Amino acid sequence: MATSQPPLRLTSHRNLVYRLVFSTLTGRTVHISQIRASSPTNPGLAAHEISFLRLLESVTNGAQMEISYTGTILVYKPGLITGSSSGTAASTGGVIRHELPAGCTRGVSYFLIPLCLMAPFSKAPIKVLFTGPGVITSSTPNGDMSVDSVRTAILPLFNQFGIFNNIELRVLRRSNPGPNGRGGGGEVQLVFGHQVRLPKTLHLMNAGKIKRIRGVAYSVGVAASNNARMIDVARGILNPLSPDTYIFSDVSSAPMVPAHDKNNPSAKKKIGLGFGLSLVAESSTGCLFSADVASPPSGGQPPEDIGKACAYQLLETISKGGCVPPAAMPTMLGLMTMGSEDVGRIQVGREVLADENVIQLARDLAQFGAPGWGLRDAPGENPDGDIIISVVGRGIGNVGRKVA
């Protein structure tokens, strides 16, 4: 008689979201302990991590989770990724409405990128509407990228794996981080309708030359002139390097969220005011490099500084070499690991490979049974010292899809 595998025991809150994603994709139960156990003020799971668990529960069927009284221990038993075909989504036109709490300090990309990693392996299309007072569409001080960068620098990467149909990310209401970096009141809708049996094997070993730069400058509840000032400074830096540079301008009003007041129960207040810039550089071989900078929640930074910082951040990301920036590594390596049982190869810069999040990702994938990565120097003239990572796919694929 077959026996179930014992739970995989992990510690710390580091990389918690991707551990849950890989647990769901591989069907392996995880026991995560010591989640901020040493914090004297906020031990255990944070609000955004609990919200991600709720999101997992919405897009899967049969998932079970147990959280200790202090929140420092989580046991997660994954279910089948069903997408928007069952549960409450069936009664709302197939759209899962996921509300983020007002105290959320992470951008909505914190939820979008892992969700997109699971979406190709879903039984049915995934349609999620992120709403509520905690939705932040811009980049955040915590390092989350903006929704614009997810749409233009992360989603196109799925083309490399043969996943390209009916994928759309809409920004219905923009927002920046609110007071103390909490909440924003934005609204974002993700439609991911292309499910595959197995992602294609990837061989990406030529970064090419940068051929064009695109971007979005956004202002929320502030003067439109902020966009023009950011664009002017950024173009002044980038135009001599890439003449094909175009930055769109998007101006929107500030979102309104409920303001709890016993004298006026229906009172509302503006939140999420600010501005920011998202830039994406595309190479001749389809490699994408992104940069994101937004005004701090405390204010006091002129738009010229934002434009300058974003342009230099983009150049720094490109200078790290390779075909993939650090922000896209979990998506690329996750799809390569879950793909067909063949060896895929990808070229990355040494600085990208040395990033602590990438190292943690490699350790976690090994814990979930993935073979170790093969590393070697890139062939030919290699002045930047790029590394070729060889990844053997596990052939897990989409267990809910009956046809290839």
Residue of 290, 297, 278, 298 lying closest to 230 (CA atoms): 278
Residues 16/73, Cβ–Cβ less than 8 Å: no
Alpha-carbon distance 329 to 357, whole Å?
9
- CA angle in degrees (0–180, nearest 5) for 245-211-302: 30
Alpha-carbon distance 279 to 238, whole Å?
11
Alpha-carbon distance 181 to 104, whole Å?
8
Strands 374-377 and 387-392: antiparallel
- pLDDT value, residue 195: 84
What tokens appear for 203 in the block?
Answer: 């061989």
Q: Where would I find the beta strands (DSSP E) of 349-386?
A: 374-377
> Distances in Å between the alpha carbon of 122 and those of 72, 198, 393, 401?
30, 12, 18, 8
Strands 268-270 and 256-258: antiparallel
- pLDDT value, residue 157: 93
Domains and their CATH numbers in the chain: 6-202+348-360 (3.65.10.20), 208-318 (3.30.360.20)
SS3 state at 268 = strand
What tokens appear for 368 in the block?
Answer: 């979930």
- pLDDT value, residue 339: 85
- CA angle in degrees (0–180, nearest 5) for 397-126-22: 40
- pLDDT value, residue 287: 93
Give every CB contact of residue 384 below 8 A, 6+ residues apart in sequence. 321, 322, 349, 350
Q: Where would I find the beta strands (DSSP E) of 105-259?
A: 126-131, 167-173, 187-192, 203-204, 210-220, 245-252, 256-258
What tokens appear for 362 in the block?
Answer: 């490699």
- pLDDT value, residue 404: 40
Cα 240 off chain centre by: 31
- pLDDT value, residue 1: 35
In 3-state terms the chain splits into helix, strand, coil percentages (rounded to 5) of 30, 25, 45
Beta bridge partners of 322: 348
Alpha-carbon distance 250 to 17, whole Å?
31
Strands 274-283 and 268-270: unpaired
Amino acid of residue 161: F
- pLDDT value, residue 86: 57
> Distances in Å between the alpha carbon of 270 and those of 253, 255, 262, 273, 298?
9, 6, 18, 8, 15
Sheet holding 374-377, edge to edge: 203-204, 343-348, 387-392, 374-377
H or E segment to which residue 352 belongs: helix 350-353
Strands 64-67 and 203-204: unpaired
Amino acid of residue 373: W
Alpha-carbon distance 23 to 7, whole Å?
10
Query: What is the separation, in whole angstroms, between the first and last Cα of the chain?
Result: 30
Alpha-carbon distance 104 to 120, whole Å?
27
Burial class of 130 by CB neighbour count within 10 A (0 to 12, 13 to 18, 19+): buried
- pLDDT value, residue 89: 52
Q: Residue written as tokens 């001080």?
A: 141
Residues 244/211, Cβ–Cβ less than 8 Å: yes
Average pLDDT along the chain, 404 residues, taken 10 residues at a time: 73 92 92 91 91 94 92 93 68 80 91 94 93 93 93 94 91 92 90 88 91 95 94 95 93 84 78 94 94 91 95 95 92 91 92 92 91 87 84 78 47
Q: If you compute the radius of gyration of the chain from its CA atoms, what whole number of angstroms results? A: 21
Alpha-carbon distance 155 to 179, whole Å?
30
Strands 60-61 and 30-33: unpaired
- pLDDT value, residue 87: 54
